[in-house]
Amino acid sequence: MTWLTISLIGYFLLAFSYILDKALLKRRIPRPAVYAFYVALLSFLSMFLFPFGGQWIDWYFFCISIFSGGIFIWGLLFYYYAVKKNEISRVAPLVGSVVQITTFLLAIIFLNKQLATSGVFGIILLIIGGFLISFDLPLKYKKLIKGVKFSFLSGIMLGLSFSFFDYIYNYLGNNIGGDYIFINGFMWTRFGLFIGGLSLLLIKKYRKNILNSFLKKDETNKKQRSAKTIFYFSLNKIFGGISSVLINYAILLGGASMVQAVSSVQFVFVLLLASLMMKKYPTIFDEKLYFWDWVQKIGAIFLIIIGVFLINK
């Protein structure tokens, strides 16, 4: 298979994972902090990779890995808040646009990346596209503010985390080389996710919700730890994990800029899947789209696609 085919499969699975996030947050794990904590617990399983090439690098690498993983979990937490408050077809593209802008600006500030004219136009198109896909015209105040602050916080923190992930893999390449760069980068950053999950316990409200999800016997908390919830949650994370492997493999085959240039196709998949799910589960997926809504969203996705291409040119 070509890098493009692999990318498309990976982004489709990622979009399906977004859809399951919405369903789980709506029906089975209604508290975002609990959902993020479960993700962090699952991330600890990556430590089982240690016998297959894992190694201690140094304290600097360890601290950077923990910091980047911790930021990622908090970014996920804000993403889950945004998904809970608004439609997934609005949240995912907006967060994705903010992630792209954040990583690009960080590369300019810390990696001395040149701000080409194409990059400026790319950022402008990402901002316009993210705005158009998230807010209906004419603007309605309630829709305008619904979960937007969480989307922006999530995009900024995830963008920062992805930039650190990139730095970590480069650091490993310069210091250990060989065939175990991916295993060590993946394993130690996922351990950072686990530590980030534990940091949620420092917030009283989150700590109470998380502990209740394990100990309380009321209907909501029993549903959160039921076999059905565990199955759907695990299935979701399997889809997310496979998509991550496929996208990284596509980057190996075709290069990061090419794979990033088609990354916005995931938002097309999200829009289509959410619309299909709305017909069967209207109480979960409140995606009420009319003809001009479709025109606006599809146009916005094209702007985002072009914007991503330009900043990665």
pLDDT digits (tens, 9 = 90+) for 184-233: 888 899 899 999 999 999 999 999 999 988 877 777 777 777 888 888 88
Query: Angle at Cα 45 formed by Cα 43 and Cα 49, nearest 5°?
Result: 115
The upper half-sphere exposure of residue 207, i.e. CA atoms within 13 Å in the direction of its Cβ, equals 6
pTM higher than 0.75, yes or no? yes
C-alpha 231/C-alpha 24 separation (Å) is: 11
pLDDT score recorded for residue 7: 83
Mean of pLDDT over the chain: 81
Please compute the mean of the pLDDT values over residues 145-156 and round it to a whole number. Answer: 84
C-alpha 113/C-alpha 57 separation (Å) is: 28
C-alpha 140/C-alpha 136 separation (Å) is: 7
C-alpha 55/C-alpha 280 separation (Å) is: 48
pLDDT score recorded for residue 266: 79
Q: Which two tokens stand for residue 285?
A: 């997926």
User: Both ends of the chain: CA-CA distance in Å?
Assistant: 24
Do the Cβ atoms of 74 and 156 come closer than 8 Å? no
Q: What is the pLDDT of residues 84-135, one digit of tens each?
A: 888 787 788 788 888 878 887 887 777 666 667 777 787 788 777 777 766 6
Q: Look-up: residue for tokens 């982004």?
A: 11
For 109, other C-beta atoms within 10 Å of its C-beta total: 10
Do the Cβ atoms of 231 and 97 come closer than 8 Å? no
Q: 134: exposed, middle or buried (C-beta count within 10 Å: 0-12, 13-18, 19+)?
A: buried
